[in-house]
Amino acid sequence: MRFNPNINAAVISDIQQSEDNLQTAFQQESTGLRVNSASDDPAASAALVQVQAQAANIDQYTANADSIIAQAQTADGVVSSVVQYLTQAITLGTEGANSDESTADKAAISAQVQGLLQSVVGLANTTYQGVSLFGGSYSGQAFTGNPTSGYTYQGNSDVNQVNVGDSLTVQVNIPGSTLFTSSSGNVIAALSGLATALTTGTTTDIGNATAAVTTALNYVTQQHAVYGNTINQLNSQETYLSQEKVTLTSRENSLVGIDPATAAEQLSQAETENSSVLAAAAKVIQNSLLNYLSPTS
Amino acid sequence: MSSLSSSLAIASQSLQAQELEIQVTNNNIANVNTAGYTRETVNLAEAGAIQEGSVSVGEGVDIVGVNSVRDNLLTLRIQQQTSQQSSAQAQVNALTQIESLFPTSGTSLSSSLSSFFTSLSSLSTDPTSTADRQTVLQNAQTVVDQFNSISAGLSGPSSGLDTNVDTDVTQVNQLSSEAASLNVQLLQQQAAGQSTGTITDQLNQVETQLATLTNITVTHTSQGDSIVTGNGTPLVIGSQSYALRTAIGTDGHQQVWDSNGTDITSAISGGDLGGTIEVRDTQIPALQNSLDTLANQFATAFNAAQEQGYDQNGNAGAALFTIPTTVAGSAAGISLATTDPTAIAASSDNLANTSGSNGNVASLLAVQNASLASGSVTTQSANLIYQIGNLTATATAQSTAITQSLTTLNNQQGSLSGVSIDQESANLIQFQQAYQAAAKVISTIQSLFETTINMIS
């Protein structure tokens, strides 16, 4: 059997192969990635792109949740104050319903209730990021008017929903028409009714008006719980999202990443192989019969 | 009859034979690094014996000729593999360029689509924010830019490949005419009874070069080597070569025509030419089509979602993207229809002063994962990555595999036909000794003659 005498080509191709391996190992070690371009693993690359999109959405859901929590907390604070004012109004109403009170005292109480009404309207006009918090999607002030002519709701009943998960949306706002002027408990009407009753009404009228305020209070308290629930829901959703993010990151890593220890081992193996190929090549290509034939023979 | 003179004749013939051996060895050594050279050996034979009574004595050595040590089947297989190898390599070269248009990290089509949708999602928490709307618009512009630049990136190599086709065809023609003239020389030398080793080496070399350009079939005939392309178009028959030519076709690309005026572009396979045409006419159009489809379906779906809502001023939502009416050219032609951030139809309410509504953002966001005719936006952009990755990986794997088998074949050919300096050195010593011995015979015979002549005097 004759062997190929021209081993140079084979030697060079071996050296190139070994250098290619070395380069790949170096790239994997330095980037920490097994897949550096789509052709390294087409299926993993395609999956990676989808995971990346999912991860970007998760980040955005978290940002959305943060922003809604801030808004919900503001609204929650406002509604808490409203509840407080209503409670005060009920106390005042109960006081005014006492037949012992003089007309002047009742007028004074009525003025206090008016003050509460104005405060509540002020709260109902709270803005968040320049937009009325309780105006639906209305771009202007939610309630307009004055104590004498009464207050009108200018906003609408639009409710904004925001995605905080692939299939989870939360309600961001409660429109003023639901919160303050609902037929189930009209806060504004109840307070102004009480103020009127205290000035002009009978004890019975005041009692009825106070009862209306109580109804409004109960109703607002119910709505108040909605915010609390939303905040709780968002907090637990954020926990879920951060877990999901960890899951996605580890999926991303298992798709295209390489274990640093493995990469380091491969790199040192490639280095060893490369040096032995070079050493062998240096030895083998200089060998020839001519080296051993003396010039005189 | 045995005599001193016949011994002298045998010795001088032996000298000639050893000289020829030395000359051929010398030629082998001289061509040790010549590409395509096939080592030669001298074919010697015993001269016929003459009968002298009961004794039969050999009449020395006859020079039969000089042979090249080659295996034609191996040469053909090498040519075949060479053509597959350079086809795969041409594809790898072109596709690697294209692959960089679809990175798996950093800014890519899929990342810009993803950012576009997350910025919309961000807008839903604060629909009146001009900054958020501006971000959405900027991200939409990035998406458009990605579509435009990838589309341009796909047609860029496509026109570069046209140049390849053109130069490949020029080379094919040049090599074909070389082969035809070598055929003529081959026949002349055969007719004159000369050794054809050198011409055959040259012919094989030209054929191997042709094989790197396109898939060819070589047939050894009495008229020399016939060379036809893989689809049967003749390039060389005997002393005649048939030139291919190129012309711009209806698709705006260089087409290859045979000498009869038939368009054979789609029939060409193998070699740099075949690989180039494969990438240019099959692979790039497939990618372009996927990209156009994505651009078209994404823009159409998004525009439809826009029209369901109302912009920040309460007007009915208008198309955000302008796209060509046909799918083809959608990626190159897509553009933003507006630069006005209020045009994003986030609102579902057309009543006055309802800019705070985000009711339509959900519909806009739904476009990301809605199942469009060819899959969701995310799936389609992931598929594009898979498509290009798979094409490149397949071509690379093919190239590696063929390189290995080609190395084996070349090794086989080298072990048969390659010049070994060691072997030639050893032979040289052997022939030197034989030459010395023959010369010694001559000087011996000379002294015998002298002895005989002295005997007479």
pLDDT tens readout for residues A267-285: 999 999 999 999 998 888 7
Give the whole-angstrom CA distance, residue A123 versus residue A83.
Answer: 11
CB spacing of B114 vs A53 below 8 angstroms:
yes
- What share of chain A in percent tops pLDDT 90? 47
pTM given for the model: 0.85
- Quote the minimal CA–CA distance from A44 to chain B in Å: 8
User: B120 lies in a domain?
Assistant: yes
Between CA B434 and CA B17 the distance in angstroms is: 10
Query: Which candidate from A3, A50, A162 shows the least CB-CB separation from B415?
Result: A3
Mutate to test the interface with A, among B124, B146, B311, B405 (most CBs of A within 10 A): B124
Could you tell me the domains of chain A? 51-251 (1.20.1330.10)
Same domain, B237 and B183: yes
ipTM, two decimals, is: 0.86
Question: What pLDDT, on a 0 to 100 scale, did the predictor assign at position A295?
Answer: 63
- Cβ of A289 within 8 Å of Cβ of B422? The answer is yes
Residue B414 counted as domain residue: no
Closest residue of chain B to A38, computed from CA coordinates: B389
* Domain identity same for B48 and B129: no
For an interface test with A, the pick among B126, B136, B412 (most A C-beta atoms closer than 10 Å) comes out as B126
Alpha-carbon B227 to chain mean position: 19
Residue B410 lies in a domain: no
Residue A59's pLDDT is 95
Report pLDDT digits (tens) over A12-65: 888 999 999 999 999 999 999 999 889 999 999 999 999 999 999 999 999 999
In a domain, B8, yes or no: yes
- Structural domain including B17 reads 4-69+419-456
Q: Pick from B113, B396, B414: which is nearest to A39 by CB? A: B396
Cα angle A37, A43, A46 (rounded to 5 degrees) comes to 70
Same-domain check for residues B425 and B297:
no
Strands B55-57 and B61-68: unpaired
Whether residues B180 and B279 share a domain: the answer is yes
pLDDT tens, position by position, for chain B (457 residues)?
Answer: 468 888 899 999 999 999 999 999 999 999 998 888 999 999 999 988 888 888 888 889 999 989 999 998 999 999 999 999 999 999 999 999 999 999 888 889 999 999 999 999 999 988 888 899 999 999 999 999 999 999 999 988 888 899 999 999 999 999 999 999 999 999 999 899 888 888 999 999 999 999 999 999 999 988 889 999 988 899 999 899 999 999 998 888 889 998 888 889 888 889 999 999 999 999 999 999 999 999 999 999 999 999 999 988 888 899 999 999 999 999 999 999 999 999 999 888 877 677 788 889 989 999 998 888 888 999 999 999 999 999 999 999 999 999 989 988 998 999 999 998 889 999 999 999 999 999 999 999 999 989 988 988 7
Q: Do A158 and B349 touch (CB under 8 A)?
A: yes
pLDDT(A82) > 90: yes
**Across all residues in chain A, what is the average pLDDT?**
89
Q: Least CB-CB distance to A158: which of B121, B354, B382?
A: B354
Chain centroid to CA B46: how far?
49
Task: Count up the domains in chain B and report the number.
Answer: 2
CB contact under 8 A, B127 and A35: no
User: What integer pLDDT is reported at residue B6 of this predicted model?
Assistant: 86
Kindly state whether residues B301 and B207 are assigned to the same domain.
Answer: yes
Using alpha carbons, select from B379, B382, B366, B378 the residue that is nearest to residue B301.
B366
What's the rounded Cα separation, in Å, for the pair A236 and B35? 74
Helices (H), A98-128: 103-124
**Interface A:B, Cβ pairs < 8 A:** 193
- Residues B333, B430 share a domain: no
The b-or-e profile of A271-284 (16+ CB within 10 A means b, else e) is eebbeebeeebeee
Confidence class for position A97, pLDDT limits 50, 70, 90: confident
Let me know: does B164 contact B355? Beta carbons within 8 Å.
no
Which has the closest alpha carbon to A8: A229, A285, A287? Answer: A285
Q: Are A163 and B118 inside 8 Å of each other by CB? A: no
Q: Which of B126, B353, B365 sits opposite A140 (nearest CB)?
A: B353
Based on the fold, state whether residues B211 and B323 are members of the same structural domain: yes
The residue of chain A nearest to residue B396, with distances taken between CA atoms, is A39
Indicate whether B331 and B312 sit together in one domain.
Answer: yes
Residue A243 in tokens:
């877990």
Which chain B residues have a beta carbon less than 8 Å from that of A295? none
Average pLDDT over residues A234-260: 93
Calpha distance A209→A215 (Å, rounded): 10
Query: Quick one: pLDDT at residue A297?
Result: 45
Angstroms from B87 CA to nearest CA on chain A: 18
Q: Please name which of B79, B77, B408, B74 lies closest in space to residue B271, comparing C-alpha atoms.
A: B79
